[in-house]
Chain A
């Protein structure tokens, strides 16, 4: 929502971008081996026994880092890069080189909706109610279906445990105020957990020479509750719900592509809620069944008015619903064989002003999955799964996955997994109906409506020419990836743990916007097509070393090569050239001179030191995050109307080593906390200590932020 405004000017063509990967032991808690996650297999499994790359971030760590929103947490994890949306704003997560659209984000196993521009705005999620964040890298479509192509991030929220309460206040730079209250209450078989958060900020301004802020002031509320009830020894029910609302005040100059600006003001709203009842029944010690129902609703709207005459210059609204019922069962034959099965149905709907009418577009998905865990002997774990999805629009998808882990010794473990992931065409790609009257008057039409619109325009004699085979216009399939992850966990010295994961994702059918026709007034009509192929591969490694009970170090690094396969082939065939912008000489591009996709850094990494002395009640952290150089392309100006120079400096429209790169940068975050007693904790910290900013290329990176955080435990 922070990003809304630039949409007006520079339409959002869903450029598929990407992200990265990491596998990392919780640095604070390496000594605790019994860390349990549910995301990887849908059942509780210890992290160490899983054959796929997983990262677990626990509440204690989140608190030590002083994080407020989910993006603060994820940005510090190896292999995860926070990237803005196509308009240069907001925070989505890039994982193993994939754009934010390709990572499924769940709360307690249920998807968060509101991918208004493809990526999910992670700052929508407060962290105060989070018990742990589980990150599974590599495709998990075999369990979760669409979107789980790059990986899955599952936010596990708190459950009622004991009678307790907690209140906290955090105040920091930009007049940012974060208020939290939560409580848990147990009465016999009933448990209640409740959480409330209010976050407000004045936003920030990276380009003071322009009127208006880079991020406009906003405030939001998050409410979350979870009620558990033990019906019998064998049956539990859980009912959880979430409500979120945000309002943002805009004041800025709207600048269109032809550099004509006018002062405007307005408001943006976001609201989402969900309800999630779950019933668990254990028939006997072997068979467990879970019934889940989930319904969620996301709404956002923006209004902008011209300051001079209060006339409405822009209105945009978007409303999405998602409802799912699922039944799954888990059967323990014995310790060696565990079977999980599930069936479910999803109903989704979208209504938006961007489709030029108020009707709701619906689609249904039905699915079934089967997973078999086989542990023939203690050193070997195998997880094999397959899922079938049938969708009313894009048809069926079969997503298998196979993972295995072999423990040669306690100090040397090998892991590997193979899988297919998919991402369905989103509503925008199907139904978008948008004409940008400000910037050149181009139109973007989703594949379900493009044929009809083109024939209407044809009948009116407004089509000048088709620039894409009309027979191919209007057909869209799911994007698919075949992925391999190969990893090892090595303990070369006592307590020194090295995790290495090699990954390779071969992606097909990538959806891209494509000009399909031009009108008689020379305006372009875009639609979508499955055209591109890409390979995203690299290696991720984490080294963690707990020096003693108090101090632990960790070092994370990811090397990434993300390349468009067709471009790579064309370069290999010698069909790609570059023109030296100074000498104007043209040369053939060599294979090793093609850098790859935009917005991907070849090198990313982090270095962290955590100190925690429980006796003295002192915590301290020092974290450095590095993002290497990357190229910018396909971003349509930033929110303050600054034109973003393209990376391509040498007339070949691809990113090669002679192009302009956004400089690599380090972010340093520090924090310290002191526990006065069991009840009171005070934390101070500074994020982005050296105040690194880049107003043009990285508008989603605020400058230095200092804060103080007071916490009181009832």
Chain B
């Protein structure tokens, strides 16, 4: 009997210890890991490309919006909200910040190793704007200027190794994202014959209002 109660007490103590240690760990900071999103369709041409002039056929010219918080695509009808963080159309990526946006977002095109960036910079974020009636994007467009290189010989778009984007969202949260491919299913070798305007990217989102990516 004595032995039994002793064992029982020990078990009770152990389980209290166990439970308390669990509850202690619960609110501790979650280690952020990168999430990969595959095949985000950025207005792929339904009719392919015009064989004569290379222009896309059957494009909507509408952006595909993405939210880091939900990790999902946001309806285009929500364009005038803070629900989306980045938008994609062809090679152009927009942020939710600037003259024509509702949010306070911005972006930095960063050079280095994606995983090594542990804290987002506090300033240096560009916003989308309009200059002389022409849009100027926080993430510059054009080969070698922003996130991609265009190869005129093979007519392909490849993300530049070592370039990634640091994004401030419309509601002033921070994320970093690295584009991995512009082609459907992110094939190892790309060519103009493979369907393009399909983004595969990975990102780390910090939703607690800090700039930490750890």
Query: Measuring CB to CB, which residues of chain A are less than 8 angstroms from any residue of chain B?
Result: 10, 13, 256-260, 437-442, 464-465, 467, 515, 518, 521-524, 575-579, 581-582, 584, 586-588, 633-637, 643-646, 648-653
Interface contact A259-B193, CB-CB below 8 Å: yes
Contacts of B156 in A (CB 8 A): 646
Interface contact B161-A257, CB-CB below 8 Å: no
Interface contact A645-B52, CB-CB below 8 Å: no
Interface contact A649-B189, CB-CB below 8 Å: yes
Q: Other than A257-B192, A582-B188, A653-B160, give 16 A-B pairs with Cβ distance below 8 A.
A: A10-B153, A257-B155, A258-B50, A259-B193, A260-B51, A440-B53, A575-B111, A576-B161, A581-B188, A581-B189, A587-B113, A635-B153, A636-B153, A646-B153, A649-B188, A653-B158
Contacts of A651 in B (CB 8 A): 149, 158-161
Interface contact A437-B143, CB-CB below 8 Å: no
Contacts of B54 in A (CB 8 A): 257-258, 439-441, 523
Interface contact B152-A576, CB-CB below 8 Å: no
Query: Measuring CB to CB, which residues of chain B are less than 8 angstroms from any residue of chain A?
Result: 49-55, 111-114, 134, 142-145, 149, 151-156, 158-163, 178, 180, 186, 188-189, 191-193
> Given the complex of chains A and B, what is the CA–CA distance between A441 and B54 in angstroms?
7
Contacts of B160 in A (CB 8 A): 577, 651-653
Q: B37: shortest Cβ distance to chain A, in Å?
A: 13
Q: A493: shortest Cβ distance to chain B, in Å?
A: 51
A interface, over-half SS:
loop
Residue from A522, A587, A646, A649 in contact with B151 in the complex, judged by beta carbons closer than 8 Å? A646
Could you pull out 24 A-B pairs where Cβ atoms are within 8 angstroms?
A10-B153, A256-B51, A257-B192, A258-B192, A259-B192, A437-B53, A440-B152, A440-B155, A441-B52, A441-B53, A467-B142, A518-B142, A576-B161, A577-B111, A578-B161, A584-B186, A586-B161, A587-B113, A635-B153, A644-B154, A650-B161, A651-B159, A652-B160, A653-B158
Q: Which residue of B lies closest to A637 (CB)?
A: B153
> Given the complex of chains A and B, what is the CA–CA distance between A524 and B141 in angstroms?
13
Interface contact B155-A439, CB-CB below 8 Å: yes
Q: B55: shortest Cβ distance to chain A, in Å?
A: 7
Q: Which residue of A lies closest to B181 (CB)?
A: A584
Q: Which residue of A lies closest to B149 (CB)?
A: A653
Contacts of A635 in B (CB 8 A): 153
Contact status of A524 and B152, CB under 8 A, knowing A259-B193, A575-B162: yes
Contact status of A586 and B188, CB under 8 A, knowing A257-B54, A575-B162, A646-B153: no
Interface contact A522-B55, CB-CB below 8 Å: yes
Contacts of A13 in B (CB 8 A): 152
Interface contact B51-A586, CB-CB below 8 Å: no
Most chain B CB neighbours (cut-off 10 Å) among A256, A437, A646:
A646
Interface contact B180-A584, CB-CB below 8 Å: yes
> Given the complex of chains A and B, what is the CA–CA distance between A390 and B48 in angstroms?
53
Contact status of A646 and B55, CB under 8 A, knowing A258-B192, A577-B162, A653-B149: no
Q: A158: shortest Cβ distance to chain B, in Å?
A: 43
Q: A290: shortest Cβ distance to chain B, in Å?
A: 47
Q: Which residue of B lies closest to A633 (CB)?
A: B153
Interface contact B53-A634, CB-CB below 8 Å: no
> Given the complex of chains A and B, what is the CA–CA distance between A581 and B189 in angstroms?
8
Contacts of A521 in B (CB 8 A): 53, 55
Q: A207: shortest Cβ distance to chain B, in Å?
A: 17
Contacts of A586 in B (CB 8 A): 113-114, 161-162, 178
Residue from B49, B145, B180, B191 in contact with A643 in the complex, judged by beta carbons closer than 8 Å? B191
Top 7 closest A-B pairs, CB basis? A577-B162, A440-B54, A579-B161, A577-B161, A651-B161, A260-B51, A258-B51
Q: Which residue of A lies closest to B145 (CB)?
A: A467
Contacts of B188 in A (CB 8 A): 581-582, 649
Contacts of B55 in A (CB 8 A): 521-522
Q: Which residue of B lies closest to A442 (CB)?
A: B152
Q: A7: shortest Cβ distance to chain B, in Å?
A: 13
Q: A203: shortest Cβ distance to chain B, in Å?
A: 25
Q: B169: shortest Cβ distance to chain A, in Å?
A: 23
> Given the complex of chains A and B, what is the CA–CA distance between A440 and B163 in angstroms?
27
Contact status of A634 and B113, CB under 8 A, knowing A437-B53, A467-B142, A586-B162: no
> Given the complex of chains A and B, what is the CA–CA distance between A307 and B51 in angstroms?
19
Contacts of A588 in B (CB 8 A): 113, 162
Contacts of A643 in B (CB 8 A): 154, 191-193
> Given the complex of chains A and B, what is the CA–CA distance between A241 and B193 in angstroms?
51
Q: Which residue of A lies closest to B192 (CB)?
A: A257
Interface contact B113-A577, CB-CB below 8 Å: yes
Q: Which residue of B lies closest to A15 (CB)?
A: B153
> Given the complex of chains A and B, what is the CA–CA distance between A441 and B152 in angstroms?
11
Most chain B CB neighbours (cut-off 10 Å) among A259, A515, A651:
A651
Contacts of A518 in B (CB 8 A): 142
Interface contact B111-A634, CB-CB below 8 Å: no
Contacts of B189 in A (CB 8 A): 581, 645, 649
Contacts of B51 in A (CB 8 A): 256, 258-260
Q: Which residue of B lies closest to A643 (CB)?
A: B191
